[in-house]
Amino acid sequence: MSNAATPGWKHAVVTGGAGFVGSHLCAAILDAGTAVTCVDDFSTGRPENISELRDRPGFTLVRANVSERLAVGRPPDLVLHFASPASPADYLRLPLHTMEAGSLGTRNALALAHDAGARFVLASTSEVYGDPQQHPQNERYWGNVNPVGPRSVYDEAKRFGEALTTAEAEAHAVDTAIVRLFNTYGPRMRGHDGRAVPTFVRQALDGEPLTVTGDGLQTRSLCYVDDTVRGILALARDGMRGPVNIGNPTELTMLELARLVIELTGSRSEIHFVERPTDDPAVRCPDITLARDKLQWEPRVSAEEGLRRTIAWFRDHGHD
C-alpha cells in the first residue's frame, strides 16, 4: 500500500486495534508510513494479532476500555472506531460491554476526533439491516431489526453508533464517516468465535462434522479482509460521510460455503445440520454501487482464493 492511502496523516488511532479487522488496519496504516496508536482492552482482541507490530517504529499500544476513557497522547489526524465484540459468541457473552462500546465508546472516540480536528470513521455493520426485506441491501434501506432479540445488543449498538456519529457531524461539524462492513473473513479470526468461516475451517481441519444451521440455504456475502481494509481506507481518505457498504456482492449459501471449505481443506468431514439461531438473517448481500462509483472500490479476492489463504493461516497458527 502506497503513502497515497494516507494523505497527510501523521498519526491514526484505531480503537479495537488488536481485534481481527483492527489489527489488519493497524498494519496497513503503518505500512503506508503513518504512526498508529492501537487502543484495546483485550476483551476480544488478542495480543498475538499485533505481536509483529509492537516493535515497529510508529506503533503504540494503549490498553484501555474505550467506554471508560480514551487518552492517546498526541492528537491524531484520523480516528477509526472499531472497538466492539463482533462475533455472536462474543456479543452474547458480553452484552452490556457490546452496548457500551457502541454508545459510550463511540462518544469517547468522537470526542477525541472533535478535540483534535481529526477525520472519524465508525465501523458499522450489515447487521443494521437485520433480516432484510430488501435484497441486495443499499445504504438507503432502513433495515428489519428485532430491537429485543438475542442479536439486538450488537445490532442496536451499531445503529445507535450511526445515529450518534451523524448527530456529532451535524451539531459540531466533526468530519465523520460510517462504513458498513459485510461478513469480513481472513487470517487472525478465532476458530471458536462463532462465525461461519472460522467455524467451518476449524471443524474441517480437525476432521469434525461441519455444523450448518437450518437447511443451509441462507446466504452471506464474504469479503476477504485485505479488500475490506482497502475499502475502509478509501472511505477515510475520500471525505464522504456515508454510510457506505463495503462487502463482496457475490453470495454463497452456508451449505455451499461448507462444501467449499471441505474441498479446499481436503477434509473427510461430513455436514451435520443443526438448529438455526433466532433472528438469523435469511439473506445478506451488499449493493456496492456507491463504493464503486464514489470510491472506485470493489473486492478483488475471490471466495476460493480468500478461503485458501485463510485455511493456510489456520494450518500454520492453530485453530483454537
Is 154 annotated as catalytic?
yes
What CA–CA distance (Å, rounded) separates 188 from 182? 17
Cross-strand pairs, 178: 122
* pLDDT in the model for residue 214: 93
Q: Are 317 and 189 in contact (CB under 8 A)?
A: no
Q: Compare 311 and 4 and report the one with higher pLDDT.
A: 311
| Degrees, nearest 5: CA angle 232-233-236 | 90
What CA–CA distance (Å, rounded) separates 291 from 236? 12
What residue segments make up the domains of the chain, in order of their start? 3-187+223-249+283-300
What CA–CA distance (Å, rounded) separates 297 from 289? 9
* Cβ neighbours for 213, distance < 8 A, ≥ 6 positions apart: 254, 273, 274, 275, 276, 277, 280
Could you say which of 91, 129, 154, 224 is catalytic? 154
pTM for this one?
Answer: 0.94
Q: Structurally, what CATH architecture does the domain formed by 3-187+223-249+283-300 represent?
A: 3-Layer(aba) Sandwich (3.40)
* pLDDT single digits (tens) 130-187: 999 999 999 999 999 999 998 999 999 999 999 999 999 999 999 999 999 999 999 9
* Cβ neighbours for 243, distance < 8 A, ≥ 6 positions apart: 124, 139, 162, 178, 179, 180
* pLDDT single digits (tens) 267-307: 999 999 999 888 888 889 999 999 999 999 999 999 999 99
Q: Are 202 and 314 in contact (CB under 8 A)?
A: yes
Cell of 112: 477525541
* pLDDT single digits (tens) 61-118: 999 999 998 889 899 999 999 999 998 889 899 999 999 999 999 999 999 999 999 9
Q: Are 106 and 38 in contact (CB under 8 A)?
A: no
Residue 159 backbone phi and psi in degrees, to 5: -65, -40
Span 6-13, average pLDDT: 86
